[in-house]
Amino acid sequence: MLWKVAGVQMDCKLGEPAANLAAIRAKLIEAADAGAKLVVFTECVLTGYGFTDRSAALKVAETIPGPSTDVIAKECQFRGVWAVFGMLERDGDKLFNSCALVGPAGQIEKYRKIHLPCVGADRFTDPGDMPICVHDLGGLKIGIGICFDGSFPEMARIQTLLGADLILLPTNWAEKAIKMATLVPRTRAFENHVYHLAVNRIGDEAGYHYIGHSSACDFNGDYLAYAEHDREAILYFDVDPEAARKKKVVHCVGEYEIDRVNWRRPEMYGELTVPRATPFEGHQNK
């Protein structure tokens, strides 16, 4: 069964979750009315990203589940859709850059960003502490990363090995991240034979200009949809989970066959699992 997926490229307002929630809800309704069964929003779309200190970020952070996820959950139940949206999450005295996954039966899951660049709110957030996982939406299996997570091929590979058909990457890519926007999504899709959706924001915030260039790619690394620079847009594309699961690419039987997933040699990759001498615990600005 094909899944119609939507990626919402939009702006948001720093530190104004109520206004952002209203915009998220409106875009969710628009995409659902267009037939999308999964609607994906950008990193920190609920809260904004360009905070200058941890205390300011904590003021707008919410729990998951919490008041905003409850609002979106009701909309998803009414319209029979799934939604993924970014926010700052508060858990006790911890602060995470997170994405909420909300389903049509009221399910609420979350992902906490693992890899943190020294920019924006990530200067003050705690490193994600939840295992990399894949969520089955009822025939479509998705993996979720956030922005800088896309720089690490290990992340997408683990999601692929866990059965992901589609990898989602909500982002906040500013002008200096143009290569991430234009090179990385197609590469992650191609090397793992999965669909990939990178959803970036637009607008200006805290001295940064966000560039858009959201994209959806198929398992061959070809674009299925692409959003322009500096414009709000909703990308629509179809995902065929069964096609993503057929990892072997046969150009000529017995003469030219490729499988970039099942022909790995993990027994040779031991260096990848050697722990760092000093584990990453966040940036000093915390």
Whole-angstrom CA distances from 188 to 125, 227, 245, 263, 265 are 26, 18, 15, 17, 19
| CA–CA dist 208, 203 (Å, integer) | 8
Tokens of 36: 């999308």
DSSP strand pairing (195-199 vs 166-170): parallel
Which residues are catalytic, by number? 43, 113, 147
| CA–CA dist 160, 279 (Å, integer) | 25
Q: For 162, which DSSP code? A: T
Q: Which residues pair with 89 in a beta bridge?
A: 62, 96
Number of neighbours of residue 180 by Cβ within 10 angstroms: 21
Tokens of 258: 């490729």
Whole-angstrom CA distances from 50 to 15, 53, 118, 136, 191 are 9, 9, 12, 32, 32
Question: 143 and 112 in contact (C-beta within 8 Å)?
Answer: no
Tokens of 104: 């049509």
